[in-house]
Chains A and B, each alone.
Chain A
C-alpha cells in the first residue's frame, strides 16, 4: 500500500500496472509493476529519466494506449478503468479525468479557434448548445489568466504565445470540471519565468477545485515546488515513493540519492563539483534480471559479493522503510538521515561517483 493517508477510495489508484509493447525485435516491457495513489486535492510527482516509463504510465491512466498490453488495475474513485470499452472510457476521458501535454502547439488543432476547441469538450460531454459552450470557453480562458478572453477565444493556436497556449490547454482540460488532472511535463517546453506562472496557476486551480494532480516530470525542482508525494521511477519500476519532504531530506534509494547529488544547485554557495551517476539509464528494450539500477549503483558496487549477486539477480520488491511513511525497492537502502532541517545538498551517505564513462 502506498504511504499516503489512505482514504477509503483514493481518487486514483494504480496497482501493479504493467505495460508491454510488441515490437519486431521482441516484447518491450515499458512499465513493470507500478503502484501508487493520488488523493483528491493532492499532487503526486512522477519523476524519472527517459525510458523510465513515466509517460507510458500516464498514458495508461488516460486509457490512451492502442497497441500496448496493459495489465494490473487502475481505478478512478473505485471504478475499474482497465477493460472498459472505448465508448465508456470516452465518457470519462476529458470529463472526469483530463490531460495536459508537454507541447501545447501540437496538442491544439491549428485550424479551429482556441475557443471552439474548448467548447467542443463541453458540448461533447454535456450536450450543451453552441452558445452555452462558447460562454463556458470564454469563462475558462478568463479563469486561467488570459487577458481579453472574449477576443482571444476567437483566435487560433499560432496567435498564442507558448505560455498562453499552455494556459489554453489547461482551460480545455478543466472546462468539464474533472476530478483528476494528468499533467505530462506541462512546463518542460516553456521558459522558466513562464513555467513559474503555469505552476502557480495549476496550484491555484487545484486548491479551488480540490483536483487530484498526477504531475509527470524529469525536473526535481518542479517536484519540490508542487508535489505532496513523489514516486521516483527507474527502468519501468517504482524505485522509491515518499512524501516530498522525506524524499528530498533523506532519500532511501541510491538512485534517488544519486539524482539529487548530480544536480547543480542554485542554492549551493560553494558550487561544489557534481557527483555524477556513472553510465546511462537502461533501455526498456534490453531487459535484465535483478535491480535495474544495479549496474550504476555505488551501494551495490561497494557491497559484499553475495549482496551484490542478489542485486544483480533478484528484482527488489517495494517495501516499507523502517522509519515509516514510504516505500523503497532496494536490497541495500540508505539509512535515514538525521531529522535536522535540510540545508544544502550534503546529507545522507556520501556516495562518491566519479565522472564515468
Chain B
C-alpha cells in the first residue's frame, strides 16, 4: 500500500504581499506547503522565592516558507528558539502570535478535532528516540497508534506497521518487540516509521540524529534522504550540527535569540555567509582535517548567547558582534536581500563578498 496524500483543502493562491524579502528567499515555485508569518512565543515569567522573573520571548517574529519536496534546515545554538518554532508548527505548542499556514490553510487556531486530519500530513520526530517511544508498548502498537487514532482497524494498522518497518530498514520480525530491545539508531527508525504511518507531506525533525553515535548518524541521515526522495516528503530539519544540515538541506535558516538572522539557499549561505553570526558559527565548527584546522582563520566570539529573558536592544547579536556600530545598539535590523537574491539577512552591515 502506497501512502496516499489528501489534496490540499483550499487551493486558493496566497497573496504575494508577503514582502519581497521572504519571496526572494523562498523557492521559485508558486504556493508553499508551509508558510509561517510573524510567529511569536512568549513564556510567562514565574515567581521564584517571591521574586518575579521576566517573561521569556523564546520566538520573536519568525517568517518561514517551505515548498513541497524541499528540506529546510533550522539551525542555531541552544536557546535560540528553533525547537520552540518546530513545536508551534505542529501545534504541540500554542503560538502567542502569528500564523501557521499548511497546505494553504491557516491551522493556527484549529480545534483539536479540526487538527486531527491535518496531523495525518504534518508529523514530527524527536531527538531522543527512546524517550519518545512508550516503553510498555510493542513496536507494532507504537507505529499503529496514529492509524488507530485516525480510525483504522487493528488488523489493517498492523499490516501497515509491518510495511513501514520494512520501509525504514528494520523488518517485520521486530513488530512484537519493545523499545528497550533496540539500539538508539533502530529506535530512531521506529520513530520515523511512526511519523510516516499516516502518509505525511511534511515532517518536522527536531535534532533527529544528535543523540546517535557518529557511525549510526549517517545511517539515519541516509534513510531520511531516501524516504524524502521516494515519498516526496518535505522536512523541516532542526539541528545544531551545521555539517549535517549542509548535507541534508536545500535551504537553511539561521536563528539567534528567537529570530531568523539569515535564510536562503544552502550553497550561498555556507559559501558566502552574509550575517556576522553565520560567519562565526561556520568558522567555529571543527573540521575533521588537522591540516585544514591549522590553516584556518577562526572568528572567536566573545561571551555567550544572551538570555532571551533579557535580550539586548537593537540587533540581538550586537554585544558579541565584531562589526557592531552605534546603529546596531538602537535599531533592530530586518531581513533584506543580499547578494544574488537567493537569500536574506538581518544585519545593518552584511558581508556582500
- Does A267 touch B at the CB level, under 8 Å? yes
CB A104 to nearest CB in B, in angstroms, measures 13
Residue of B nearest to A255 (CB): B215
With A221-B288, A245-B290, A260-B288 known as contacts, the answer to whether A356 contacts B214 (CB < 8 A) is: no
Counting CB contacts under 8 A, is A276 at the interface? yes
Q: How far is the CA of A163 from the CA of B78 in the complex (A)?
A: 12
A145 to B, closest residue via Cβ: B302
**Residue A20 at the chain B interface, CB threshold 8 Å:** no
Tell me if A278 counts as interface (CB < 8 A to partner B).
yes
Interface segment out of the listed A89-97, A111-119, A169-177, A192-200: A192-200
* Cα separation A221 to B242 with both chains bound (whole Å): 12
Asked whether A8 is an interface residue with its Cβ less than 8 Å from the other chain, the reply is: no
Which residues of chain B from 290 to 325 have a CB within 8 Å of any chain A CB? 290-293, 298, 300-301, 303-305
CB proximity of A25 to chain B, nearest CB, Å: 14
Residues of B within 8 A of A351 (CB): none
**Complex Cα spacing A223 to B216, Å:** 19
- Give, as a whole number of angstroms, the nearest-CB distance from A156 to chain B: 14
Q: Decide if A69 is an interface residue (CB 8 Å cutoff).
A: no
In the assembled complex, the CB of B157 is this many whole angstroms from the nearest CB of chain A, namely 23
Question: In the assembled complex, which residues on chain B have CB atoms less than 8 Å from the CB atom of A65?
Answer: none
Which among A161, A221, A258 is the interface contact of B285 at CB below 8 angstroms?
A221
User: Is B300 a contact partner of A192 (Cβ separation < 8 A)?
Assistant: no
Residues of chain A with a CB closer than 8 A to B171's CB: 357
Please provide the chain B residues from 209 to 256 with a CB less than 8 Å away from any CB of chain A in the complex. Answer: 213-219, 221-223, 225-226, 240-244, 246-248
Known: A49-B215, A258-B215, A264-B243. A224 touches B288 (CB 8 A): yes
For the residues of B in contact with A, the DSSP-based class is helix
B284 proximal to A (CB < 8 A): yes
Q: Decide if B281 touches A192 in the complex (CB within 8 Å).
A: yes
Query: Could you tell me the distance in whole angstroms from the C-beta of A288 to the nearest C-beta in chain B?
Result: 16
CB of B286 closer than 8 Å to a CB of A: yes
- For A, the interface residue count at a CB cutoff of 8 angstroms equals 52
Out of B169, B184, B217, B243, which one reaches A357, CB within 8 Å?
Answer: B169
Contacts of B222 in A (CB 8 A): 273-274, 276, 355
**Complex interface: chain A residues within 8 A of B241 (CB):** 264
* Minimum Cβ distance to chain B for residue A213 (Å): 16
A271 at the interface (CB under 8 A from B): yes
Given the contacts A263-B288, A266-B285, A191 and B240 also touching, CB distance less than 8 Å: yes
Q: Is the CB of A266 within 8 A of B214?
A: no
Whether B128 sits at the interface, judged by CB under 8 Å, is no
Specify which of A194, A200, A278, A296 lies most central, judged by the most chain B CB atoms within 10 Å of its CB: A194
Interface residue? A219 (CB, 8 A) = yes
Chain B interfacial residues counted at CB < 8 A: 50
Contact among A50, A222, A245, A266 with B291 in the assembled complex (CB-CB below 8 Å): A245
Among B214, B215, B270, B288, point to the contact of A248 (Cβ < 8 A): B288
Q: Name the contact of A192 in the complex, choosing from B225, B242, B288, B303 (C-beta under 8 A).
A: B242
Q: Which residues of A contact B77 (CB under 8 A)?
A: 191-194
Minimum Cβ distance to chain A for residue B269 (Å): 12
Q: Is the CB of A267 within 8 A of B218?
A: no
Chain B's nearest CB lies how many Å from the CB of A117? 20
Please give the distance in Å from A157's CB to the nearest CB on chain B: 15
Query: Is B170 in contact with chain A by the CB < 8 A criterion?
Result: yes
Whether, in the assembled complex, A218 has its beta carbon less than 8 Å from a beta carbon of chain B, the answer is: yes
B221 and A224 contacting across the interface, CB-CB below 8 Å: no
Task: Give CA–CA (A357, B242) in the complex, Å.
Answer: 25
* Of listed B218, B225, B283, residue having the most chain A CB within 10 A: B218
Question: Roughly how many angstroms separate A196 CA and B320 CA in the complex, as a whole number?
Answer: 14
Interface flag for A280 (CB, 8 Å) = yes
Q: How far is the CB of B212 from chain A (nearest CB, A)?
A: 9
A49-B213, A221-B288, A281-B213 given. 15 additional CB < 8 A pairs?
A: A49-B215, A193-B77, A193-B280, A193-B305, A221-B287, A224-B292, A248-B288, A259-B215, A262-B214, A263-B243, A263-B288, A276-B216, A276-B221, A277-B219, A280-B215
Query: Which residues of B approach A to under 8 Å, CB–CB?
Result: 77-78, 169-171, 183-186, 213-219, 221-223, 225-226, 240-244, 246-248, 270, 280-293, 298, 300-301, 303-305
| Sample of 27 A–B contacts (CB below 8 Å) | A49-B213, A161-B304, A191-B304, A192-B240, A196-B283, A196-B286, A196-B298, A197-B300, A199-B286, A221-B288, A225-B293, A245-B290, A249-B291, A262-B217, A262-B218, A263-B243, A264-B241, A264-B247, A266-B242, A267-B289, A273-B222, A274-B247, A278-B219, A280-B184, A281-B216, A355-B169, A355-B219
Residue ranges of A at the interface with B (Cβ–Cβ < 8 Å): 49-50, 161-164, 191-197, 199-200, 218-225, 227, 244-245, 248-249, 258-260, 262-267, 271, 273-278, 280-281, 296, 341-342, 355-357
